[in-house]
């Protein structure tokens, strides 16, 4: 086949019917130090090992169709993040969870999954809010102070350029740790494609403005507790959001 | 599986490039829980704790097949627990030193000094200093002679182990050849040593090493002494420079002999006779982070039928032994399933030379149908079949075509015995260009023996004629052609032990620079790019490749002065190494010179199965510009048939039977080593 014909063929794309599993997962241990791209690769390989009927994207470089709700930065644990996995046939959610778990590396775990209709809105687009937990000595005082500031200007490096940005408006509400640990806090912050704050920037603002020792801040344990849709306080966990089904154009 | 925390703070881990290198927790990694229970309860274990060490960064080590094979072999046994360790990059090296944290294993984060044995795989000479880095960070005395009863045994294997003399001061044991069987035999000795410690007659380290000498293929450097002298060359050495005897002594001939009776005088490499029944890792450790070669590997065969005279791999891996298609297909199927990789590499020295290659390729492609798994086919000889195959396997992206003519003229290709003909290159390229390919990579070597400027210019000429062919095809077919991209890449010839060119001189740096410039000036075209290899590392590589034990102190001093990661061009400082070398009374020329055919070479006590006599006859044939046929066409009697297996051996046995009746003279030389010596006599 000539190259020109091949190119033509490859660009003819039809809509593939997808059977989507919306799954929540946790990560801890050594996998915490993976970058987001590596994390995605881990899930892809696990799904391939589990021989799940994954749907692949079309085009020049077909990729397994897996969409993560929100990137998970290096060093952040999660108790409950989400991903959508497209399959080419209907699949039992519990079986999906069980089979994938058997093949994930230590530290990554599917918590539960459910079959949803192929969504009109990408899972990424519905995330608005994240809950986090920080664990470090003196974190309660420091975060308390941070909430009382009018602004928290931090330096963000985006596309190789340094940029000053105020992250105070992105912090929503602070509370004591649910387990009562005095050296832990839990809080909500904006998250998602529109407004987002990275936990490491919050920690650096704590050492900059709130009297926290920089080394303690850097070593704080960061755990994402959940991801939500909607406007605080009326927020819904991502897997409880009602899915608007995708209607293919005739 | 229990997870073991990294002995580093989060901020330390977060401060280095790619922290995932240092945390372990990979899929298919092995942790022997019963050993850990034992350790927890009694503080001891009867398991032999083996640390497989790769003297370069994680991403490179995890792409190494030797690591995967031996890790698997060791952990499959019921008395060894093998873990992995890698060279920490400079940022992590600094943290470990500053915070006084010993280098630890990936699996259980155990300091290297707490293992019973460390096994390094040495794939390239420039990693030697990283061995010292790992020992140092692992809290193990660098010099073998300084190690005591409680220190781990330090061993090595891999292609560089065949001339381990420059590193002889640092290794207790070197393994020659394929390790699958040998490494278990060695581990068994370590186990006896370990168990004897709790008896009334504990074995000493010296006894252990002598016991290990009894294992075929194992070389214990400390049981040998070296004399640097004229033995055997005395009368032939001319002394044009008028140097003193003492000065010459330092330069010529390193003769390595046992220190006492009962130690083997020649160490013969080991091979695996039947690859089909040999353990192969179909559950390799899958890195969580992306590594250099992010794919699984299916090893197709060992050895090479070709015999290119510069190529060390072509000689040290003889004889050629193939796996059967049936075994390969089954292993391929399992590998894909057990790893989840979307790419599988077929590995060998020349994949197209696999006798049932079409069948294998078709079969694997059928297995992978609909899985979005691609086949990666390095070292493929281009013909209509392989082009067709590449169409199929690379259906998504059309990568470049690669040719390795190695030399620019047919004369020089005959000298090096590179059996690739220009007609073949051009007929393959014609097909490829018609099929839409427009990227071509050409690999050559500069500084080959007998090379003249005409040969160098031949490289430019070949590239230009390929360029012309492309546009001629465009005109013939009237097709709109894409932009042509030809890359000419040159590396520098390095004479390596156990090749017919092991005696050859390396061109001086000045001469190489001149040749490179000559080529560059003649390669001016918008369609042709010229990429060249760094000179400095090649200059040092020859020293390490053909060196002797006098380099031990040089390497030690270099390492202590902060030189490691020499394999990384950015970190390699030739000038400083030369300074240290000269301080020790030597110079580059001592190792880059032409070695005399009469002198004792530092590696003469090692046998790879290919006789020195054969190598010498090949060298002479090179000068006569005569080629040697492949092992498949005709056995040339290199000596490797003495292993009693391999394609050539089978052919010889069959051949001897056929000719037995017709030629009564051959009855006196049955198949085997006698036949080999007869043929050598002819050559």
Judge if B14 and B153 occupy the same domain. yes
Judge whether B442 and B487 are in contact, CB under 8 Å: yes
Count the helix, strand and coil residues of chain A and give each as a percent rounded to the nearest 5. 30, 35, 40
Residue A133 lies in a domain: yes
Structural domain span for residue A114: 16-123
Average pLDDT, stretch B351-374? 91
DSSP classification of residue B243: -
> If DSSP codes are grouped into helix, strand and coil, which group holds residue B445?
strand
Residue A101 lies in a domain: yes
Give the pLDDT confidence score for residue B662 in this predicted structure. 40
Residue A163 lies in a domain: yes
Judge if A100 and A172 occupy the same domain. no
Judge if B53 and B202 occupy the same domain. yes
* B26 has a chain A CB within 8 A of its CB: yes
Residue B538 lies in a domain: no
Judge if A26 and A112 occupy the same domain. yes
Residue contact A30–B371, C-beta within 8 A: no
Residue B494 lies in a domain: no
Q: How many CB atoms lie within 10 A of CB B644?
A: 13
Judge if B218 and B316 occupy the same domain. no
Chain A CB contacts of B482 below 8 Å: 3
Q: Which of B379, B394, B409 is the last residue of a domain?
A: B394
Q: Which of B107, B24, B71, B265 is nearest to B187 (CA)?
A: B71
**Lowest-pLDDT range of A59-63, B154-158, B196-200, B565-569:** A59-63
Q: Which of A123, A151, A184 is the last residue of a domain?
A: A123
Minimum distance, in Å, between the CA of residue B337 and any CA atom of chain A: 5
Average pLDDT, stretch B4-22? 94
**Lowest-pLDDT range of A229-243, B43-57, B211-225, B249-263:** B249-263
Average pLDDT, stretch B76-90? 98
Candidate from B27, B289, B342 with C-beta closest to A34? B289
| H-helix segments, B164-290 | 179-196, 205-213, 245-251
Residue B317 lies in a domain: yes
| Arithmetic mean of pLDDT over chain B | 89
Residue contact B340–A49, C-beta within 8 A: yes
Judge if B217 and B281 occupy the same domain. no
Average pLDDT, stretch B227-243? 49
**Can you say whether residue A97 is alpha, beta or left, with left for phi > 0 and alpha for psi between -120 and 50 degrees?**
alpha
Chain B's closest residue to A7, CA to CA, is B396
Residue B560 lies in a domain: no
Chain A CB contacts of B435 below 8 Å: 2-3
Judge if A160 and A97 occupy the same domain. no
pLDDT tens per residue, range B54-63: 999 999 999 9
Substitution target from B24, B30, B372 for chain A, most A beta carbons within 10 A: B372
pLDDT tens per residue, range B267-311: 999 999 999 999 999 999 999 999 988 999 999 999 999 999 999
Give the pLDDT confidence score for residue A198 in this predicted structure. 95
Whether the pLDDT of residue B673 is over 80: the answer is no
Residue A22 lies in a domain: yes
Whether the pLDDT of residue B398 is over 70: the answer is no
Substitution target from A2, A27, A29, A109 for chain B, most B beta carbons within 10 A: A29
Q: Is the dihedral of CA B356, B360, B362, B363 positive or negative?
A: positive
Chain B CB contacts of A6 below 8 Å: 395, 436
Give the pLDDT confidence score for residue B391 in this predicted structure. 72
Q: In terms of C-beta density within 10 A (0-12 exposed, 13-18 middle, 19 or more buried), how is residue B153 classed?
A: buried
Judge if B100 and B162 occupy the same domain. yes
Structural domain span for residue B198: 10-226
Q: Which of B161, B193, B226 is the last residue of a domain?
A: B226
Residue A243 lies in a domain: no
* B25 has a chain A CB within 8 A of its CB: yes
3-state secondary structure B104-163: ECCCCCCEHHHCCEEEEECCCHHHHHHHHHHHHHCCCCCCHHHCCCCCCEEEEECHHHHH
Judge if B204 and B300 occupy the same domain. no
Q: Which of A88, A123, A158 is the last residue of a domain?
A: A123
Judge if A185 and A151 occupy the same domain. yes
Judge if B15 and B145 occupy the same domain. yes
Give the pLDDT confidence score for residue B481 in this predicted structure. 83
* B19 has a chain A CB within 8 A of its CB: yes
Judge if A72 and A118 occupy the same domain. yes
Residue B344 lies in a domain: yes
**Count of structural domains, chain B:** 3
Give the pLDDT confidence score for residue B548 in this predicted structure. 93
* B388 has a chain A CB within 8 A of its CB: no
CATH number for A80 = 3.30.70.580
Tell me how far apart the alpha carbons of residues B316 and B159 are, in angstroms, rounded to a whole number.
8
Tell me how far apart the alpha carbons of residues B451 and B408 are, in angstroms, rounded to a whole number.
10
Give the pLDDT confidence score for residue B681 in this predicted structure. 33
Residue A161's φ and ψ, nearest 5 degrees, are -110, 145
Percentage of chain B exceeding pLDDT 90: 75
Judge whether A187 and A171 are in contact, CB under 8 Å: yes
Minimum distance, in Å, between the CA of residue B533 and any CA atom of chain A: 31
Substitution target from B30, B283, B288, B335 for chain A, most A beta carbons within 10 A: B288
Q: pLDDT band at B248, cuts 50/70/90? A: low
Instruction: Provide DSSP, A228-239.
Output: EEEETTEEEEGG
Chain A's closest residue to B342, CA to CA, is A45
Chain A's closest residue to B434, CA to CA, is A2
Judge if A24 and A108 occupy the same domain. yes
Q: pLDDT band at A13, cuts 50/70/90? A: low
Candidate from A37, A103, A219 with C-beta closest to B11? A219
Judge if B14 and B89 occupy the same domain. yes
Give the pLDDT confidence score for residue B659 in this predicted structure. 46
Q: pLDDT band at B242, cuts 50/70/90? A: low
Judge whether B350 and B381 are in contact, CB under 8 Å: yes
Residue B550's φ and ψ, nearest 5 degrees, are -65, -15
Minimum distance, in Å, between the CA of residue B339 and any CA atom of chain A: 6
Judge if A44 and A111 occupy the same domain. yes
Cis geometry, peptide bond prior to residue A233 (ω within 30 degrees of 0): yes
Candidate from B11, B20, B482 with C-beta closest to A218? B11
Candidate from A74, A106, A219 with C-beta closest to B19? A74
Q: Which of A60, A95, A123 is the last residue of a domain?
A: A123
Direct distance between the N- and C-terminal alpha carbons of chain A, in angstroms, rounded to an integer: 31
Q: Which of B347, B368, B394 is the last residue of a domain?
A: B394
Residue contact A3–B26, C-beta within 8 A: no
Residue contact A105–B23, C-beta within 8 A: no
Judge if B28 and B120 occupy the same domain. yes
Count of pairs with CB atoms under 8 A, one residue in A, one in B? 95
Q: pLDDT band at B665, cuts 50/70/90? A: very low
**Count of structural domains, chain A:** 2
Residue B542 lies in a domain: no
Tell me how far apart the alpha carbons of residues B155 and B175 are, in angstroms, rounded to a whole number.
7
Tell me how far apart the alpha carbons of residues B495 and B448 are, in angstroms, rounded to a whole number.
9
Judge if B204 and B91 occupy the same domain. yes
- Chain B segment 277-306 residues within 8 A of A by beta carbon are 286, 288-290
Average pLDDT, stretch A91-102? 98
Which residues neighbour B562 within 8 Å (Cβ) at sequence distance 6 or greater? none
Residue contact A221–B27, C-beta within 8 A: no
Residue contact A1–B391, C-beta within 8 A: yes
Minimum distance, in Å, between the CA of residue B344 and any CA atom of chain A: 13
Residue B247 lies in a domain: no
Residue contact A47–B340, C-beta within 8 A: yes
pLDDT tens per residue, range A127-177: 999 999 999 999 999 999 999 999 999 998 878 889 999 999 999 999 999
Judge whether B306 and B419 are in contact, CB under 8 Å: yes
């Amino acid at each position: 086949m000539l190259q020109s014909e091949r190119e033509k063929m490859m660009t003819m794309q039809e809509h593939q019917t997808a059977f989507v599993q919306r799954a929540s997962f946790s990560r801890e241990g050594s996998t915490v130090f993976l970058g987001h791209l590596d994390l995605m690769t881990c899930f892809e390989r696990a799904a391939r090992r589990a021989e799940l009927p994954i749907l692949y994207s079309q085009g020049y470089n077909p990729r397994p169709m897996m969409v993560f709700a929100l990137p998970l930065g290096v060093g952040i644990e999660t108790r409950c993040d989400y991903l959508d996995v497209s399959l080419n046939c209907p699949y039992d959610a519990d079986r999906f969870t069980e089979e994938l778990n058997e093949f994930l590396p230590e530290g990554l775990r599917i918590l539960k999954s459910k079959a949803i209709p192929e969504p009109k809105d990408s899972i990424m687009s519905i995330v608005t809010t994240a809950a986090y937990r920080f664990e470090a000595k003196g974190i309660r005082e420091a975060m308390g102070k941070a909430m009382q500031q009018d602004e928290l200007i931090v330096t963000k490096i985006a596309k190789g350029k340094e940029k000053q940005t105020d992250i105070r408006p992105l912090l929503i509400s602070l509370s004591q740790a649910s387990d009562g640990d005095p050296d832990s806090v839990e809080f909500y912050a904006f998250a998602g494609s529109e407004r987002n704050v990275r936990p490491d920037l919050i920690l650096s603002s704590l050492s900059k403005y709130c009297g926290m020792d920089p080394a303690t801040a850097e070593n704080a344990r960061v755990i994402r507790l959940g991801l939500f849709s909607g406007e605080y306080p009326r927020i819904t966990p991502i897997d409880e959001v009602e899915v608007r089904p995708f209607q293919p154009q005739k | 599986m229990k997870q073991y925390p990294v002995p580093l703070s989060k901020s330390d881990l977060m401060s280095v490039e790619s922290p995932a290198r240092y945390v372990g927790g990979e899929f298919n990694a092995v942790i022997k829980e019963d050993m850990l229970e034992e350790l927890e309860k009694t503080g001891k274990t009867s398991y032999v704790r083996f640390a497989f060490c790769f003297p370069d960064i994680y991403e490179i080590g995890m792409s190494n097949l030797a690591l995967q094979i031996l890790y698997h072999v060791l952990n499959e046994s019921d008395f060894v627990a093998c873990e992995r360790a890698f060279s920490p990059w400079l940022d992590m090296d600094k943290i470990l030193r500053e915070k006084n944290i010993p280098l630890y294993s990936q699996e259980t984060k155990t300091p290297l000094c707490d293992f019973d044995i460390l096994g390094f795989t040495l794939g390239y000479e420039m990693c030697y200093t990283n061995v010292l880095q790992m020992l140092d960070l692992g809290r193990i005395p660098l010099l073998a002679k300084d190690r005591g009863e409680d220190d781990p045994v330090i061993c090595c294997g891999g292609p560089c182990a065949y001339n381990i003399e420059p590193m002889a001061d640092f290794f207790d044991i070197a393994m020659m050849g394929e390790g699958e069987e040998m490494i278990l035999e060695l581990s068994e000795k370590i186990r006896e040593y370990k168990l004897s410690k709790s008896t009334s007659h504990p074995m000493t380290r010296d006894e252990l090493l002598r016991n290990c000498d009894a294992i075929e293929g194992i070389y214990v450097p400390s049981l040998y002494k070296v004399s640097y002298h004229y033995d055997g060359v005395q009368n032939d050495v001319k002394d044009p420079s008028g140097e003193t005897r003492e000065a010459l002594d330092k330069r010529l001939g390193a003769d390595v002999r046992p220190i006492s009776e009962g130690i083997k005088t020649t160490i013969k490499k080991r091979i695996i006779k039947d690859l089909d029944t040999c353990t192969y890792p179909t559950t390799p450790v899958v890195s969580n982070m992306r590594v250099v070669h992010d794919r699984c590997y299916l090893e197709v065969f060992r050895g090479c039928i070709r015999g290119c005279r510069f190529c060390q791999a072509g000689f040290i891996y003889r004889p050629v032994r193939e796996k059967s298609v049936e075994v390969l297909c089954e292993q391929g199927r399992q590998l894909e399933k057990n790893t989840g990789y979307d790419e599988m590499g077929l590995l060998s020295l020349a994949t197209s030379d696999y006798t049932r290659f079409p069948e294998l390729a078709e079969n694997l492609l059928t297995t992978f149908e609909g899985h979005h798994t691609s086949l990666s086919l390095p070292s493929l000889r281009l013909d209509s079949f392989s082009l067709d195959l590449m169409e199929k396997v690379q259906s998504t992206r059309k990568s470049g075509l690669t040719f390795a003519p190695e030399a620019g003229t047919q004369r020089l290709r005959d000298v090096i015995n590179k059996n690739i003909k220009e007609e073949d290159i051009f007929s393959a390229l014609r097909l490829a260009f018609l099929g839409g390919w427009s990227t071509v990579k050409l690999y050559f070597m500069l500084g080959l023996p007998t090379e003249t400027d005409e040969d160098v210019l031949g490289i430019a000429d070949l590239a230009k004629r390929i360029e012309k062919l492309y546009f001629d095809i465009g005109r013939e077919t009237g097709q709109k052609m894409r932009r042509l991209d030809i890359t000419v890449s040159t590396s520098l010839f390095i004479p390596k032990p156990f090749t017919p060119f092991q005696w050859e001189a390396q061109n001086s740096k000045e001469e190489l620079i001149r040749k490179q410039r000559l080529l560059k000036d003649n390669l001016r075209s918008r369609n042709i790019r010229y990429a060249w290899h760094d000179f400095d590392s090649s200059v040092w590589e020859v020293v390490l490749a053909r060196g002797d034990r006098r380099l031990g102190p040089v390497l030690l001093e270099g390492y202590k002065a902060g030189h490691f990661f020499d394999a990384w061009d950015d970190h390699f400082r030739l000038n400083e190494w030369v300074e240290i070398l000269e301080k020790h009374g030597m110079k580059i020329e001592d190792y880059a010179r032409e070695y005399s055919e009469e002198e004792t070479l530092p590696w003469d006590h090692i046998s790879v199965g290919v006789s020195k006599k054969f190598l010498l006859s090949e060298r002479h044939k090179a000068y006569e510009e005569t080629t040697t046929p492949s092992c498949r066409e005709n056995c040339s009697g290199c000596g490797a048939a003495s292993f009693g297996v391999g394609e050539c051996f089978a052919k010889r046995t069959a051949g001897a039977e056929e000719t037995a009746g017709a030629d009564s003279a051959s009855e006196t030389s049955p198949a085997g080593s006698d036949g080999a010596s007869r043929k050598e006599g002819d050559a």
